[in-house]
Amino acid sequence: GTGIQEVTTIVDREGKGVTNAIGTGGRDLSTEVGAITMMDSIKALAQDPAVKVITVVSKPPAKEVEEKVLNLLRNIDKPVVTLFLGHKPEYTEANIYHAYTLEEAARVSVQLSNGEKPEFKPATKEIKATLKDGQDGIKGYYSGGTLASEAAMLVKDAFDGLKDETTEGFTYKAGNHEIIDLGDDMYTQGRPHPMIDPGKRIEKLQEAANDENTAVIMLDNVIGYGSHDDMAGQLAPAIEDIISEAKANGRDIAVLATVVGTEHDPQNYEQQIKTLEEAGAHICETNDQMVRSAIELTGHKAEQPELKEESFDATSVDLSVDDKILQLINTTPSVINVGLKSFATAIDESGADVVQFNWRPVAGGDEKLMKVLQFLNNYEGESV
C-alpha cells in the first residue's frame, strides 16, 4: 500500500516512471503460499522490455520464502533493488542492491535506471526547538501502515537501549516514544480510514501536545485518488493550536510532516505542502528524512548500514510465465470496484473500464454485532 506509494512518488519526483506497481498482499510471502504472486510478477517484469529495474518491497517474508525469492532474483539479468522492511541488510550483491528504507530503495532504483553506481546518503532537516529536560518523546501518527513500520524501525534502531513496550494498537512504543498506524483495524471499526477522516489523528495530536515529554510529532499526508480532497487543510488548525498552546506553556513542540504524492495528484502536491508549512509544520521530502530528523532533534541518530558486496550461488530457475500474466501487465485492466465510489471515478477518468458495486460491511464492521445479526437472521425459535 503506502510502501508502494512512497517509492513510486519519489521515483516520479526524480523524473522517472513506473511501468507496473503490483501489490501482492502480505499472505503471499507466507510459507503456505510461497510467494506465488511475487515470483510470477518478477518473471513477467523480467520479460518486459520497458522495465529497466525491478524493485521488490515487502515486510520480511518467511526465511525459506525469502531464499526462494532471492534465488529467482539472482537468475534475472536486470538490476534489482530489494527492501524487506524491518530487516537491516548486511550485504549487497553484484546485481541486487539490498536497501534499508523506502527512500533508499526508490533513489537507488533511479540511479540504476540511469546506469549510475548506486549510492545513498540519508538526509535530515535541521529543526530548531528548545527542549526541556525529559522532553524527548517522538510521537508518530500515521495513516499509512508501511510508513508507520518504517518509522518504528528507525526509532527502535536509534533508541535500542529502551525496553520495548509495544502492545496492541501501537506499531512501536518504548519510553516516551510511540508510533501508531491509525489505519489499523483497531482504529477503523465503524469509522472511515484516516486518509479520509482526520478525526482520530486530530485527537491524537492533542493528546501528544498535552504530554510534557513530547518533543516532536510526525504526520504523513498520503494524497492521491481516494484520499481526502484537502487533508492538509483539515490538519492545519490542529497543528497551529498545539504549537501555540505549547509556547503559551513555555514549551516548544516540533511538528514534522511529509506529503506522499506528486504534482499529478488531484489534491495539488505543492498546495498541501504550503498549507502545512503555514500552520507551522516542518516539511520533509520523505518519511525516511522525517523520522531521521525527529531522532536527530532529540540528540540521537539512526545509523545507515554500510554494505559490502557478497556473491552467492544461484540454482537455475524456469523464467517462463503464463501469457495471461503478461497480458495483464501490458493491457488496460477492466475493474469491478467494491465500496468507495471515488475509486471507480478515478479508474474511469484514467480510461479503464469499471463497474461500481456499492457495499458496506454489516453493522459497520463490528464483529460482535455481526454475530448477533447473523444469529437473529437464522433464529428459528419461538418469538417472545
Domain boundaries of the chain, sorted by first residue: 2-120, 137-297, 331-384
Look at strands 254-260 and 80-84 and give their pairing: unpaired
Q: Using one digit for the tens of pLDDT, what is the confidence trace for 187-239?
A: 988 788 999 999 999 999 999 999 999 999 999 999 998 899 999 999 999 99
Grid coordinates standing for 113?
535506471
Which pLDDT does position 382 carry in this prediction?
A: 67
Residue in the structure block whose three cell numbers are 513506473: 18
156's enclosing H/E stretch is: helix 145-158
Spatial distance between the Cα atoms of 384 and 370, rounded to a whole number of angstroms: 22
Residue positions counted in the chain: 384
Grid coordinates standing for 310?
557478497
Region 137-297: CATH code: 3.40.50.261
Pick from 39, 32, 78: which is nearest to 58 by CA?
39
Pick from 152, 169, 148: which is nearest to 160 by CA?
152
pLDDT tens sequence for the chain (384 residues):
899 999 999 999 999 999 999 998 878 989 999 999 999 999 999 999 999 999 999 988 889 999 999 999 999 999 999 999 998 999 999 999 999 999 999 999 999 999 999 999 999 999 999 999 989 999 999 999 999 999 999 999 999 889 999 999 999 999 999 999 999 988 988 788 999 999 999 999 999 999 999 999 999 999 998 899 999 999 999 999 999 999 999 999 999 999 999 999 999 999 999 999 999 999 999 999 999 999 999 999 999 999 899 999 999 999 999 999 999 888 888 999 998 788 898 888 888 899 999 887 788 778 888 888 888 888 776 665
Q: Using one digit for the tens of pLDDT, what is the confidence trace for 8-26?
A: 999 999 999 999 999 988 7
> Rounded to an integer, what is the distance from CA 77 to the centroid of its chain?
28
pTM, two decimal places: 0.90
Domain pair 2-120 / 137-297, same fold: yes
CATH, domain 2-120, list 3.50.50.60, 3.40.50.261, 3.30.565.10, 3.40.50.1220 = 3.40.50.261
